[in-house]
Structure 1
């Protein structure tokens, strides 16, 4: 299945679609299933993975923006109807493994990512928003994983690691055990930017990120990812790549010449 490229304004199919458009240095991904609060079907997860692959392969892209269609939800988790087919615990293990892969592909993007959250970021939607580098939310937007009072399932260690790394164990416990759904204004400082005009904030952020050194941002993201998995992670390959890059030489020359650098991403 191929990721959709038609504008999100088109009528979304019942199973939903993940739509990718690229405008210059900015990639925009829309979760398009508004009649179901953009709840993810397995087909949509596959399209997300394909979109992430295409973004990662396009060296002209400098930033990626992820958003839910309809303005009422980012993503309201995984479509629960799909769980009816589960026959044993093995199905759950396979599902969590697949979701880890999809979220991991988003987390590992070599360019900065921004989640635009209007309404709900729940369950799988919370995981996807959390995997982005930045989150911009409308006032009152809610975040959470209330599975203790809804589905009665659990998260994988990888999913818990990602949430704990960004939110801390105490808040993760409140979300998972008490099933709390805090609004954006009550989330930890620095986790989310709350704005009445989310579009203006997002455009300002993308404009700023597009002007920064792609090699530096790519290296920083990868090293932070490695560090989250292993406190003693090796960095020699990344440090060598960055200091041997054209962008490093350009940055030094531009700084000493007192001119703006012209980043190439190489």
Structure 2
């Protein structure tokens, strides 16, 4: 997927070779993992280093069973991620470079998408190109009023998306909106996105709403959440995807037995993820 783009109101913000390479930072607070895209001077435009650090953060989260939810957010409060740093494309010399890039970024987005815990994107400002792909790969999105989503490559770089990533967008947004985003280079506001795709929250309330959402997720059965995410992932690629392994794992778990006992005893269940 070619994730490069340039926000219409910030023509030089993610193309500056003078900007630092940025960082993707991971912090863990109890059951919550927080991934921060930290390059605010460039609207958090992704460098190769940042993509690699995102993948490493996802691997660390996947290896930590105590983590129940992951929050992704851009530093600075003005952008989630404003695409891939365009300056990096100067090194491309042929279409084969584009194929290699698409394959590599597919790996990064796929790693995020494959996390077995629920993920939340907090979008303040721009979620463009790469930011759109990453936010779209999350399970939930919170956004401040006026936040913009899109992939306006038809009027910026003149490149294209891979078929697999167009399919990802269609699966979540619908064909008509994806056509408008890609063929007309539209950048809808959060308030204009399809119902259920994003929750629009006033800036002063977004941290409270985020905490409430994290608390609700953490209180749910972790095996049920993980298995459900995997079923959804499989169905996106195969409408007849097998599920016997997942059903067997869930119904054979100690958590399922705890859930039944707690329900019959009229007490809250104590989930252990086992």
TM-score bracket, normalised by the shorter chain, equals: over 0.9
Aligned-partner SS, 2:84: coil
Say whether residues 1:26 and 2:27 are aligned partners.
Answer: no
Distance 1:249 1:101 in 2: 37
Residue 156 of structure 1: CA displacement?
1.0
What pairs up with 1:70-89 in 2 under 5 angstroms?
Answer: 70-89=76-95
TM-score scaled by structure 2?
A: 0.92
Name which of 226, 231, 246 aligns with 1:223: 231
Alignment match, 1:131: 137
Alignment match, 1:188: 194
Distance 1:44 1:236 in 2: 37
Name which of 45, 50, 55 aligns with 2:56: 50
Name which of 158, 170, 173 aligns with 2:176: 170
Aligned-partner SS, 1:102: helix
What pairs up with 1:109-120 in 2 under 5 angstroms?
Answer: 109-120=115-126
Residue 198 of structure 1: CA displacement?
1.2
Residue 257 of structure 1: CA displacement?
1.2
Distance 1:45 1:191 in 2: 24
1:202-221 Cα shifts (integer Å, max 9, x gaps)? 11100100100000000000
1:20-71 Cα shifts (integer Å, max 9, x gaps)? 0000000000000000000000110000000001111110000000000000
Say whether residues 1:253 and 2:231 are aligned partners.
Answer: no
Say whether residues 1:264 and 2:269 are aligned partners.
Answer: no
Name which of 211, 218, 234 aligns with 1:203: 211
Distance 2:135 2:237 in 1: 19
Aligned-partner SS, 1:99: helix
Residue 175 of structure 1: CA displacement?
0.4
Where do 4+ consecutive residues of structure 1 move more than 3 Å?
Answer: none
Say whether residues 1:151 and 2:152 are aligned partners.
Answer: no
Query: Structure 1 stretches of 5 or more lacking a match?
Result: 1-12
Aligned-partner SS, 2:97: helix
Alignment match, 2:166: 160
Distance 2:26 2:193 in 1: 29
Name which of 219, 236, 258 aligns with 2:244: 236
Distance 1:143 1:125 in 2: 8
Residue 246 of structure 1: CA displacement?
1.1
Residue 233 of structure 1: CA displacement?
0.5
Residue 193 of structure 1: CA displacement?
0.2
Distance 2:63 2:167 in 1: 27
Distance 1:49 1:264 in 2: 27
After superposition, the CA RMSD in angstroms is 0.7
Query: Structure 2 stretches of 5 or more lacking a match?
Result: 1-18
Residue 195 of structure 1: CA displacement?
0.5
Distance 2:194 2:131 in 1: 18
Residue 241 of structure 1: CA displacement?
0.7
